[in-house]
Amino acid sequence: MRKPCCEKRKTKKGAWSKQEDEKLTQYVEKNGEGIWRSLPLAAGLLRCGKSCRLRWVNYLRPNVKRGNFGEDEEDLIIRLHALLGNRWSLIAGRLPGRTDNEVKNYWNTHLRRKLIQMGVDPNNHRIGHTHNIGLTKSSFGSRQVNYPSEPVDSQGDKYSDQIKPLSDSTSGLESNTSCSGLPDLNLDITIGPPSSFGY
């Protein structure tokens, strides 16, 4: 059994102070990301490396977008969740400036509830407990969200402009057949204006 990474040293837990944020930011800006395990000592922080990484990635990183999610982002998250399930890092990777933690939190606090209110099971994106595949929920707020009507093939072209196949392996969707039974999705999704979603 692996020991917790922070067992060796006395480490601080809980909310980060301004001073800690500044130390971490200065260190990462000077030395770059990586080697999280040794970073706290080098930066003069009484935190474990994982904690530093989380704080940097989710909060301090310069291009992190904070604040409310737009409607286009909401739609994209819902559609991606229907395709990918709880693979938050992959979903977040398609949302510039958003982190997996933020997407996960937003899903759990807002979108899950929204889908439930709409009568959609947030786990499988089906209406109620029927086994419909290929549902089209006619309203999401004032707009429409189309769920995938069937598993995508490797070309991924069922999702028109928003979801296109990637040519390289950096999509994070690495295998042809995922262990969860999902098809090879190989998505290349960008956020466009809501009107371009084709609803």
Partner DNA sequence: AAACTTTACAACCGCGGCCGT
Partner DNA sequence: TACGGCCGCGGTTGTAAAGTT
Shortest spacing between CB 180 and DNA, in angstroms: 10
Report, in Å, the least distance between residue 109 CB and DNA. Answer: 4
Nearer to DNA, 124 or 132 (CB): 124
- CB 67 to DNA: min, Å: 8
- Rounded to a whole number of angstroms, the minimum distance from the CB of residue 145 to DNA is 19
Separation between Cα atoms, residue 170 and residue 37, nearest integer Å? 25
The SS3 call for residue 12 is: coil
- Tell me if 131 sits within 8 A of 87, measured CB to CB: no
C-beta of 37 vs 137, nearer to DNA: 37
CB nearer DNA, residue 66 or residue 130: 66
Interacting residue ranges for DNA, rule: CB under 7 A: 1-2, 4-6, 12-16, 34-37, 47, 49-51, 53-55, 58-59, 66, 86-90, 100-102, 104-106, 108-110, 113
* Residues 6 or more apart whose Cβ sits within 8 Å of residue 50: 5, 6, 36
- Chain-centre distance for alpha carbon 197: 20
Q: Residue 36: which residues within 8 A CB-CB, separation 6 or more?
A: 49, 50, 52, 53
Hey, what are 69's tokens?
């999610």
Which of 80, 83, 147 minimizes the C-alpha distance to 118? 147
> Distance between CA 112 and CA 118 in Å, rounded?
10
Nearer to DNA, 50 or 143 (CB): 50
CB of 83 vs DNA, minimal distance in Å: 13
Closer CB to DNA, residue 105 or residue 160?
105
